[in-house]
Amino acid sequence: MKTRVLYFILLIAVGLSVPSQGLAQSRKVLNLPSYNQAPYHFGFILAANHMLFSIKPVSGIENVKWDVTQSPDIFADSLYVYEVTSSPTPGFSIGIVGNLRMGRFTDLRFIPTLSFGERMINYSILAYQNGTPVLVNTKKSITSTYVELPLSIKYRSRRLNNAGAYLLGGLKYTIDLASQKKAEKENNDITVKLHRHDVALELGVGFDFYTTYFKFGTEVKMGYGIRNLIKTEDNIYSGSIDQLRSKVFLVSFTFE
């Protein structure tokens, strides 16, 4: 997915910089002709997201031995983790758009957003009981509710009648209201705990469509977390992860 998104962004970048003979087509009546000359405007955003993790296991993970006290939810004498991966589930985001004009083709955008999502951490564990090995596949669910404060620069192309393309990039500060950092163990279930605060780099591409009364936009964006979120504890699930960073794929629709 990451490769396809980067390829798509590259195609749009080329389209923004290389003139096309299609631009010579006849003009149409412009909707909102002075829209981009306004010093600022507001709107809202609706989006579908896929949240996941970029995971780096501890060095030599397959040689690290864990005992029953470090994994009480798996009945075994000793355990070895062979693989740790992440898988996403669909989520959604809603936010408020604030846009400040900086130049002829450049805007500064601030979009406070509330995002809901869930990610799974998948473990492949070799468990030994009385000398007999058994491969156990288990997973831990990480549910997140993010308050996101992204600040980004938007670079717009020239309008082609009532449409235009753009690139954007910036930084995003996030607070996870559903962080499990302070979660308590219940019975024998071990919770993977994460830090609440994160900073992410965002890159995206989109299209604007000018209608009679408002501007409608579609956008594809990737977010890459900078901070290592894992809170290391003495258990097989947290202890087997050296670095864990957030990644988000977002498809959004804006109304401004």
Range of the domain at 74: 2-15+29-255
pLDDT value, residue 68? 84
- 26 pLDDT band (50/70/90 cuts)? low
- Tell me how far apart the alpha carbons of residues 112 and 44 are, in angstroms, rounded to a whole number: 10
CB 220 within 8 A of CB 5: yes
Whether residue 21 is contained in a domain is answered as: no
Return left, alpha or beta for 187; rule: phi > 0 is left, psi -120 to 50 is alpha, else beta.
left
Domain with residue 36: its CATH number is 2.40.160.20
Length of the chain in residues, anyone?
256
Cα angle 214-218-220, degrees, rounded to a multiple of 5:
155
Whether residue 86 is contained in a domain is answered as: yes
Percent of the chain with pLDDT over 90: 67
Q: Where are the beta strands (DSSP E) in 106-240?
A: 106-110, 113-129, 132-156, 163-176, 197-210, 215-225
Whether residue 89 is contained in a domain is answered as: yes
Q: 119: closest CA among 254, 251, 245?
A: 245
* pLDDT tens per residue, range 30-43: 898 989 999 999 99
pLDDT value, residue 28? 75
pLDDT value, residue 88? 86
Q: 162: closest CA among 27, 16, 254?
A: 27
Average pLDDT, the chain: 86
Whether residue 100 is contained in a domain is answered as: yes
Residue with tokens 């964006």: 221
- 17 pLDDT band (50/70/90 cuts)? very low
- Tell me how far apart the alpha carbons of residues 76 and 128 are, in angstroms, rounded to a whole number: 6
User: With 50 as the cut, is the pLDDT of residue 3 above it?
Assistant: no
Most distant CA pair in the chain, distance: 80
Over residues 171-200, the mean pLDDT reads 77
Return left, alpha or beta for 175; rule: phi > 0 is left, psi -120 to 50 is alpha, else beta.
beta
Whether residue 202 is contained in a domain is answered as: yes
**Number of domains present in the structure of the chain:** 1
> What single DSSP character describes residue 160?
B
Whether residue 207 is contained in a domain is answered as: yes
User: With 80 as the cut, is the pLDDT of residue 150 above it?
Assistant: yes
Whether residue 20 is contained in a domain is answered as: no
* pLDDT tens per residue, range 210-220: 999 999 999 99
- Tell me how far apart the alpha carbons of residues 40 and 78 are, in angstroms, rounded to a whole number: 62
Range 158-191 burial, b when 16+ CB lie within 10 A, else e: ebeebebbbbbebebebebeebbeeeeeeeeebb
Say which range, 108-117, 134-143, 180-189, 239-248, has the weakest mean pLDDT. Answer: 180-189
Whether residue 23 is contained in a domain is answered as: no
Q: Note the pTM of the prediction, 2 decimals.
A: 0.80
Q: What is the radius of gyration, based on Cα positions, of the chain?
A: 23
User: With 70 as the cut, is the pLDDT of residue 2 above it?
Assistant: no
* pLDDT tens per residue, range 121-148: 999 999 998 888 899 999 999 999 999 9
